[in-house]
Amino acid sequence: MQKTLEYIESHQDQHIRDLSEFLAIPSVSTDAEYKADVERCAAWLSEHLAQCGLENVQQIPSGGHPAVYADWLHAGSNAPTVLFYGHYDVQPVDPLDLWTSPPFEPIVKDGKIYARGAVDDKGQVMLQIKALEACLRSDGRLPVNVKLLIEGEEEIGSEHLEDILREHRERLACDVILISDTAMFGPAMPSLVYGLRGLTYMEITVHGPNRDLHSGSFGGAVDNPANALCAMIAQLKDAFGRIQIPGFYDSVRSVSETERRELQRLPWDEQGYADSLGLAHTNGEFGYSTLERLWARPTLDVNGIWGGFTGEGAKTVLPAKASAKISMRLVPDQDCHDIAEKFEQYIRTIAPPTVRVEVQSLHGGNPALTEIDSVGMRAAMRALELAYGRKPFLQREGGSIPIVLVLQEILAADTVLMGFGLNTENTHSPNEHFSLANYKSGSIATAHFYHELLNLSAGSA
């Protein structure tokens, strides 16, 4: 293990250069315009995996963007097998004008690397690859069998991953699923995530008159689709932040007293949190703490809204239509399809007869809770303690990795969510970045993880 740690230490500059190359490729999966770049990114990743000593590197085609597979399977049939899952696609960059440096020209500043995808998820994928490279180069082998599956459609709901998993079930068979796509509770606070929220993402378009109208000549005679859209959105929540969709909370698992106590034990600076967001106060569903609202309660947010004249000046138009993207974060045991239906039904109920409303579901994923005393989780806890010198925190996460449930179901293996991001690193926002300290510690923790997993499995075998 010593040689491996020395290798990681002595190769940091090279590892950062490798990450920069990876980040420089604009693999934006949501936007058809970037299709060629996404393909280029998959090709670059495949080549890099081979260079790092991984075997059977292959691009697995899907209806959309390809997934990249690689493995190293010489640890023996008694050694456990780990499947690492990550994604090489990234979110769009807009609003571009808020970036202080071009999103696809990575730069290192104050111990952080800035670029779209730095922390979500290219940086966390690369630290895993670097851990494997370090073991292979220093020991010539890995303690366990490792498979990697790195997809290109996570940011668009992993459309085709389920098909891939079912088609290649045998080949992807494993004992533990390892994912690095979550955030630590805070700087230097190693964390393991045991709960994730789900997601239902909808788009509404409200249609009024058959063309944009002059608001003077026609104002007063026809319903305004933008006003109507706002009126509908206003009916989605009440003054206490409770979502008004009938049946929305039916299958929400309430926070147990035990979990409430656990949450309260976590170090949490409410005012510092608000300050970091430039807010006087946090705000959310009445009757719950901020951490409960973030981790254990569902939410509803407008992600985007547009209609009419949005340029400079004062155009007196009565718009023909207006649209909004609205998403809901889900918690166990809500079902993303059930919520999508309930959302659409409610919208149809509150839609005024004066407009025509279109509702479509853009994507969804179910919430997940994972076993916290599995072999994989215990190995991860030891590994993080060795890498960071302190016991890791057990936490939930407000975001979604819809694929976790699918991985668990299809591969029937324990899941370990060992992430190295920070919530202050602007995921999905301008100036996304990743701490280089965590980039290195992440590689170290991962190397430890493989060794600890072998020990614990041997013990339990």
Binding to a copy of itself in span 138-157, by CB under 8 A: 155-157
Q: Which is nearer to a copy of itself, 165 or 213 (CB)?
A: 213
| Closest among 185, 184, 177 to 377, alpha carbons compared | 177
Distance of CA 245 to CAs 60, 151, 234, 341, Å? Answer: 40, 34, 12, 10
Q: Which is nearer to a copy of itself, 78 or 210 (CB)?
A: 210
- Rule CB under 8 A: choose which of 78, 272, 277, 460 binds a copy of itself: 277
- Which residues within the stretch 164-183 sit at the binding site for a copy of itself (CB under 8 A)? 183
Rounded least distance, CB 232 to a copy of itself, Å: 8
For residue 371, give the DSSP letter.
-
E-only strand ranges, 39-175: 55-60, 67-72, 81-87, 107-109, 112-114, 145-151
Rounded least distance, CB 201 to a copy of itself, Å: 5
| Closest among 118, 145, 151, 152 to 420, alpha carbons compared | 118
Q: Which is nearer to a copy of itself, 50 or 234 (CB)?
A: 234
Amino acid code (one letter) for 349: T
Q: Helices 2-10 and 12-23 meet at what angle, rounded to 10?
A: 60
Residue 317 engages a copy of itself in binding (rule: CB under 8 A): yes
- Which residues within the stretch 114-143 sit at the binding site for a copy of itself (CB under 8 A)? none
Q: Are 197 and 225 in contact (CB under 8 A)?
A: no
Cis geometry, peptide bond prior to residue 333 (ω within 30 degrees of 0):
yes
Q: Which two tokens stand for residue 328?
A: 């809901």
Q: Which range in 162-170, 186-194, 229-237, 368-376 contacts a copy of itself by CB under 8 A?
A: 229-237
Residue 319 engages a copy of itself in binding (rule: CB under 8 A): yes
Question: What is the rounded distance in angstroms from the CA atom of residue 91 to the CA atom of residue 29?
Answer: 7
- Which residues within the stretch 7-36 sit at the binding site for a copy of itself (CB under 8 A)? 30-32
Residue 224 engages a copy of itself in binding (rule: CB under 8 A): yes
- Rule CB under 8 A: choose which of 44, 249, 268, 306 binds a copy of itself: 306
- Rule CB under 8 A: choose which of 322, 383, 386, 411 binds a copy of itself: 322
Residue 374 engages a copy of itself in binding (rule: CB under 8 A): no
Residue 415 engages a copy of itself in binding (rule: CB under 8 A): no
Rounded least distance, CB 384 to a copy of itself, Å: 20
Rounded least distance, CB 397 to a copy of itself, Å: 7
Residue 186 engages a copy of itself in binding (rule: CB under 8 A): no
Rounded least distance, CB 137 to a copy of itself, Å: 35
Q: Which is nearer to a copy of itself, 203 or 338 (CB)?
A: 203
Question: What is the rounded distance in angstroms from the CA atom of residue 342 to the CA atom of residue 183?
Answer: 31
- Which residues within the stretch 392-411 sit at the binding site for a copy of itself (CB under 8 A)? 397-400
Question: What is the rounded distance in angstroms from the CA atom of residue 3 to the CA atom of residue 133?
Answer: 12
Task: Give 209-216's long-range contacts (Cβ < 8 A, gap of 24+).
Answer: 209/318, 209/320, 210/320, 211/320, 212/308, 212/317, 212/318, 212/319, 212/320, 213/317, 213/318, 213/320, 214/316, 214/317, 214/318, 215/316, 215/317, 215/318, 216/316
Residue 412 engages a copy of itself in binding (rule: CB under 8 A): no
Q: Are 365 and 405 in contact (CB under 8 A)?
A: yes
Question: What is the rounded distance in angstroms from the CA atom of residue 44 to the CA atom of residue 65?
Answer: 14
Residue 226 engages a copy of itself in binding (rule: CB under 8 A): yes
- Which residues within the stretch 333-372 sit at the binding site for a copy of itself (CB under 8 A)? 353-354, 362-363
The site that binds a copy of itself (CB under 8 A) totals a number of residues, namely 99
